[in-house]
Structure 1
Amino acid sequence: MRCPYCGSLETQVKDSRPTEDASSIRRRRVCPDCGGRFTTFERVQLRELTVVKKSGRRVPFDRDKLMRSLEIALRKRPVDGERVDRMVNGIVRQLESQGDSDVPSDRIGELIMEGLRSLDSVAYVRFASVYRNFRETRDFNMLIDELANPPDGEAETPKPKSPFPSRV
C-alpha cells in the first residue's frame, strides 16, 4: 500500500480488525520512511462493475462517488455515519449480486432513492431534486406529497407524539 504522505510502497500493517458490520477489514498502517500513520479499509469485491450512463458512455463504478453524493444530500442532517455505511454496503452488494456487471446509472439512482427514503426524508428530497432534475417548485410539492401519502403497501413512519396536549 502506497503511503499517502511520501509515496513509499513499503508501509507496514500495525493493526487489523473487522469493522462493526464485518463488511470490511480496517487496517492501521505506518510508513517506515516518513513515520506517517494512516488507515485503510479492505472490502470484498464480487465483480468489477461498469456504470452505463444515459448517454451510453461506460465508466467504472466508483464507491467513493456514491459516498460523496450521499454526503452532499445528508449534509447537516442528524444521520449516523454507520447507517450511511450500511446503506452504501447494501447498495453495492445488490449491484454486485445481480447477474450483469453492467449497471445502468438510473438503477443506482433508484437504489439510492429507496435507501434515502427510509434514512432521512430531507436528504431524500435533496437527492431527488438533483436526480430527477427538478425545474419548478411544484416538482418539490409533488415529491413531498408522495412522501406524506405513501402508496398502498408502504407504511408511513409514525410521527412522534408531541409532549404538549392538543387544544381543540
Structure 2
Amino acid sequence: MVPILSRDPITAPAAPGLSACTPEALSALGPLLCLHDAADPHLLSGWTRAVRVHAAIRLDSDGPCESLHFYDACGQACWRLHLLPDSDCHAWEHLLARLPVHTDGDAAPRTGLFGRKHAAAPRWRACALRLHALPEERSPLRLAATDVRLSPLGRGCAQRLIRQAG
C-alpha cells in the first residue's frame, strides 16, 4: 500500500466539483489509470494540491475516453484519473453526475499531455491503481493507493491512453 496523504481543508478549499471527489467516491471507482507529475514525491501529491476538477469525455477511433482532470491553484494540471474497462462504471457515472463535464469541443487544442508540449525528460508518470478511503483520524480527507493488476483488456486500454498522452 502506498503511504497515506491528506488534503488540508484550510489551505485547499474544495471547489464545487472537487467536493464530489471524496476519498469514498474515488475508492468506489475500482482500478484506474493515474497520470501524475514525475517530479512529485508521491503519486497522490497532485490530489492533495488540487483545487479544481472536471470530467473530460472524448470520442476517438478507439471509442470513448473518459477521465478526471485535476488542477492546482495556479491552474496547472496536476493529476488525472482515467476510466478503464476494469473500473466500476456505475460508480463512475454517479461521480460524473456531480462534476462539470468537458467534451471534445470544450477544450483548446492539445499540444501533449495536460496541454503542454512534450519535453525530452518524462514529466509525467502513469500507473494502474486502486484508491482507498481511510478512516478519519487527523483529517476528513484521507486517501491511499495500491497497485492493481489489470485485465488484458484493461492493460491494452491503459497502454493506448499512455501512448496518446505522450
Which TM bucket (shorter chain)? under 0.3
Which structure carries more strand by proportion?
2
Higher relative contact order (CA 8 A, sep 6+): 2
Q: TM-score, normalised by structure 1?
A: 0.26
The structure having more radius of gyration, on CA atoms, is: 1
Q: TM-score, normalised by structure 2?
A: 0.26
